[in-house]
Amino acid sequence: MSEPALKIYAEGRVAGKVALVTGSGRGIGRAIAHKLAAEGAKVVVNDLDPPTGDAVAAEIVAAGGQAIAVNGSVTEAGFAERFVQAAMDQFGGIDIIVNNAGYTWDATISNMTDEMFQAMMDVHLVAPFRILRAASEPIRIMAKKEAQEGREVFRKVVNISSIAGLFGNAGQASYSSAKASLVGLTRTMCKEWGRYKVNVNCVAFGLIETRLTQAIETDQKTVDIEGKKIKVGVQPALLDTMAKMIPLGRAGKPEEAANAVYMFCSPESDYVSGQVLVCGGGILM
């Protein structure tokens, strides 16, 4: 079945808002970018691979929306400042930040190298920290101006965690640690940025259908992450076991994952902050 065409609703729930979404060239990130664009947001897309990020921005523009791509690794020096400044220069503000970029690099702790552990911390924790830090001054200035004008304008941050970060997962000491730390960053920024009317929340995904969780058929596939060949995929028997643990009986789709993120981006979440929402089909570890 072909994917439905992207439709832009000019009077959507986030119409006119400027949304920055990392890792939005594929999978869940792409679905988030499409969802926010469909609801009227101007989107700053990002992907490690420039053609992939550019393609998503082009999809949004072709559908009648507004988008630009700021590609590159979220872990590289200066990326956070470049990402935030592009939003300010092109669209004149920042309203929504979704820290979604990431991948897994698994091993039991006896086989896990310092490089593997640090890579997970860098992409899942340090990169979101840097992006929020880069956005802090523009947000402060905009919030101060709005307060002086007597206007209450809410902004949104959604950090992407995982049930591995909440409950742990064998073979993922690094990934679980980074995702757990991201919950701490979320709750701290909720307290720091409440005075600026910024809602800071977290979505923890369970099993979602992406290239990282595809079934391994014959040979295990790899993805290239900054010159590193990272194995991806899950053994079919394990996928079946995981699906049986999910009350809804199946893995989630990227569009369903995007809907959970969108809930925290919409005006309906204006009095919700510092929360962690599990998007996992009812799974409770």
Helices and strands: H and E segment counts in the chain? 9, 9
Q: How many CA atoms lie within 13 A of 108 on its CB side?
A: 1
CA distance 47 to 254: 16
Question: Active-site residue numbers?
Answer: 175
Provide the β-strand partners of residue 18. 42
276 contacts 179 by C-beta, under 8 angstroms:
no
Residues whose CB falls within 8 Å of the CB of residue 177, separated by 6 or more in sequence, listed in order: 117, 120, 121, 165
State the residue for tokens 């079919």: 236
What DSSP string describes 44-94?
EE--SSHHHHHHHHHHHHHTT-EEEE--S-TTSTTHHHHHHHHHHHHHS--
Query: Cα–Cα–Cα angle for 280, 284, 285, nearest 5°?
Result: 115
Six token digits for residue 145? 């101006």
Q: How would you label 138-164 residue by residue, b for 16+ Cβ within 10 Å and e otherwise? A: ebeebbeebeeeeeebbbbbbbbbbbb
